[in-house]
Amino acid sequence: MQVILIQDVDNLGGKNELVTVKNGYARNYLIPQKFAIEGTPSNLKKLEESLKVKAKKEAAMLAEIKSVIATITSSPLSIGAKVGTTGKIFGSVTSLQIARAIRDQKGYEVDRKRITIITEVKEIGSHKASIDFGGGHVTEVDFEVVAE
């Protein structure tokens, strides 16, 4: 019997997947527990439509991520820091400061937990950080630390 899984089932498959199982397993366990629905032609059509809608949403989100990456990497960010007489900054630049700079200078809200500073920033100058947008979309952004 073919069933469409409504949610992930261990050792069987993932959500929205069409699988073939024995009749008793489907009728006595999967369907009553609401893990699956029967693979009728109308349910298969609904599954196809939902997968098409999901693919369109993912494509739109991918386009949005690419435009955000292009905007963020177009020019380096400028981050102000208090500096001592030797050119070293007091403290260090954190991912929170980079997130604020992106928000103020580029107009995008980026979660600070997604930002990783590649090298420790203790001096004025040009540095790099990486931003993980999820789904394998990671980009490097340049930022410049300037004296306040």
3-state secondary structure the chain: CEEEECCCECCCECCCCEEECCHHHHHHHHCCCCCEEECCHHHHHHHHHHHHHHHHHHHHHHHHHHHHHHHHHCCCEEEEECECCCCEECCCCCHHHHHHHHHHHHCCCCCHHHEEECCCCCECEEEEEEEECCCCCEEEEEEEEEEC
User: What's the confidence (pLDDT) of residue 45?
Assistant: 95
Q: What is the pLDDT of residues 90-136, one digit of tens each?
A: 888 899 999 999 999 988 899 999 999 988 888 888 999 999 988 88
Q: What is the pLDDT of residues 23-77, one digit of tens each?
A: 999 999 999 999 999 999 999 999 999 999 999 999 999 999 899 889 988 889 9
What is the CATH architecture assignment of 66-147?
A: Roll (3.10)
Give yes or no for residue 85 having a pLDDT over 90. Answer: no
**What pTM value is reported for the model?**
0.68
User: What's the confidence (pLDDT) of residue 135?
Assistant: 80
Give yes or no for residue 5 having a pLDDT over 90. Answer: yes
* Fold type of domain 2-64: Ribosomal Protein L9; domain 1 (3.40.5)
Start-end of CATH 3.10.430.100 domains in the chain: 66-147
Start-end of CATH 3.40.5.10 domains in the chain: 2-64
% of the chain residues with pLDDT over 70: 100
* Averaged pLDDT of the chain: 91
